[in-house]
């Protein structure tokens, strides 16, 4: 069962308006890039606020419980929060890399085959670097290598 922090984290960046392409609009136009830059900046801001909340929570909740079971429970809770924050720290790095790709006009194209990744896929996973076909192939290969 996901804890509050994981549930909150999975709801981040959900509140955006899907991009509406104008008829004949070129893929990754300036407006599209601005749309994704906005999504990335909002997502990063939410993650940073979550980090601040975690730090404050850990400071507020830190106590030296005399009961070893209470102490172990608190340490496990903190450990789980820190693992979640570490994943989010890595995600912030990926968001920063994606923002750079947008600035360099390299965003939205598959790293493997060079085709458009697609607006809806990028809205679902803004840090995607592979089109759905290449990602599916990579997952199949990964599954075969793991077996």
The token pair that represents 121 in the structure block: 């896929």
Per DSSP, the residues of 42-110 read HHHHHHHHHHHHHHHHHHHH----SSHHHHHHHHHHHHHHHHHHHHHHHHHHHHHHHHHHHHTT-TTB-
Q: Partners of 109 in the beta sheet?
A: 116
134 labelled ligand-binding: yes
49 labelled ligand-binding: no
Q: Can you tell me the distance from the alpha carbon of 38 to that of 121, in angstroms, rounded to the nearest whole number?
A: 16
C-beta atoms surrounding 117 within 10 Å: 22
124 labelled ligand-binding: no
113 labelled ligand-binding: yes
Closest by Cα among 56, 64, 40, 54 to 4: 54
Binding site for Zn(2+), by residue number, is 110, 113, 131, 134
Q: Where is the binding site, in residues?
A: 110, 113, 131, 134
């Amino acid at each position: 069962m996901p804890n509050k922090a994981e549930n909150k984290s999975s709801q981040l960046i959900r509140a955006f308006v899907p991009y509406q392409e104008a008829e004949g609009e070129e893929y990754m136009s300036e407006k599209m890039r601005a749309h994704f830059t906005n999504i990335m900046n909002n997502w990063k801001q939410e993650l940073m606020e979550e980090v601040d909340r975690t730090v404050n929570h850990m400071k507020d909740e830190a106590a030296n419980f005399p009961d070893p079971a209470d102490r172990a429970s608190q340490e496990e809770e903190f450990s789980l929060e820190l693992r979640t924050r570490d994943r989010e720290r890595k995600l912030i790095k990926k968001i920063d890399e994606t923002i750079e790709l947008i600035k360099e006009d390299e965003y939205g194209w598959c790293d493997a085959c060079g085709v458009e990744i697609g607006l809806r896929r990028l809205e679902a996973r803004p840090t995607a670097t592979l089109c759905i076909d290449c990602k599916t192939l990579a997952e199949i290969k990964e599954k075969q290598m793991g077996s």
